[in-house]
Amino acid sequence: MDWRQLDYFRVVGRMQHMTRAAEVLGMSQPALSRAIRRLEGELGVPLFHHVGRSIRLTRYGEAFLARVDRALHEVDEGRRELADLTGAESGTVALGFLRTLAAEYVPQLVRRFRAEYPGVRFSFSQDNGAVLERELESGELDLCFMPPPRENPRLESRLVTEQELVLIVPPDHRLARRENVALREIADEPFISFKAGHAMRRLVDDLCAAAGFEPRVTFEGDESSAVRGFVAAGLGVAIVPAGGPSSGYTALRISEPVARRSIGMVWVKNRYLSEAVRTFARFVIESPPSAADTA
């Protein structure tokens, strides 16, 4: 057994798809299958079972993956500590952020940081808050820009900016030619919203309550893109973060109540962060606060 076998197993175990895992690892599918079979032979138990064209971890595989994750995480942490010996001017920051922060906030922040630390490299992940939170906890990301999670004791955060929320309406809507709108003006409109339990759903419901009404939700979606798509199809109005694609609907500023959400820099409590990551985090905290209105 060697470290490569364990790394192969970890990737296959997370993806539970041999062909996709082979693509990620940059090797052929047959070679990866042979490596997994050798590992199973050395361990004396099956790690996966086949379900049609897919594979699933056996109970042995699930137990072993938890151990392998911990072992390889320690090795990765050790490598990063050794890399720190070269100082803060090199290294890599694995940074996650909401898609709507990709237009302006994150690029401008990274540009200013790179002007002072040109040797630091970045790897980026753009997704929704739930996915970013999982990637942060799994160790795939060092830091995330997202609304601070309310109910995860493993995570810590620091507020760094605010993001404007806007009302979007179909292009032929009665308010489409307006630049801004008070939220009470759309109290009787059908709403496209996020599913119950989603952080944006709670925020939208709170905003509507502050405007004196309960939204009449006719469609629910998991993703901002789905919500925007239903509005573009003329099925209702929605409140979404500013930024992102803008075709097929009109975005209006909300004059009242104040429609913003807080964005935090989030990390895993007590996890080792490299000197490059710590330097970037300090830079973010010391940067003047801004509103990511167009992010």
Cα separation, 12 vs 17, in Å, equals 6
pLDDT(189) > 70:
yes
pLDDT of residue 288: 67
Q: Note the pLDDT tens digit of each residue in 196-233.
A: 877 788 899 999 999 999 999 999 988 788 899 999 99
Structure tokens at 262: 């807080």
Q: Note the pLDDT tens digit of each residue in 34-50.
A: 999 999 999 999 999 98
Q: Are 231 and 192 in contact (CB under 8 A)?
A: yes
Question: How is residue 52 annotated by DSSP?
Answer: T
* pTM (predicted TM-score): 0.63
Long-range contact list for 87-91, CB < 8 A, 24+ apart? 87/275, 88/117, 88/120, 88/275, 88/276, 88/278, 88/279, 89/117, 89/119, 89/120, 89/276, 90/119, 90/120, 90/121, 90/276, 91/119, 91/120, 91/121, 91/274, 91/275, 91/276, 91/277
Domain map of the chain by residue range?
Answer: 3-82, 86-161+262-291, 165-261
> 20-34, 129-143, 238-252: which range is least confident on average?
238-252
Half-sphere exposure of 121 (CA within 13 A, CB side): 3
The CATH class given to the 165-261 domain equals: alpha beta
Superfamily of structural domain 86-161+262-291 = Periplasmic binding protein-like II (3.40.190.10)
Fold agreement (3-82, 165-261): no
Q: Looking at domain 3-82, which of 3.60.20.10, 1.10.10.10, 1.20.140.10, 3.40.50.360 is its CATH number? A: 1.10.10.10
Name 204's Cβ contacts closer than 8 Å, sequence gap at least 6.
Answer: 191, 193, 194, 215, 239
Query: 265 — phi, psi (to 5°)?
Result: -95, 120
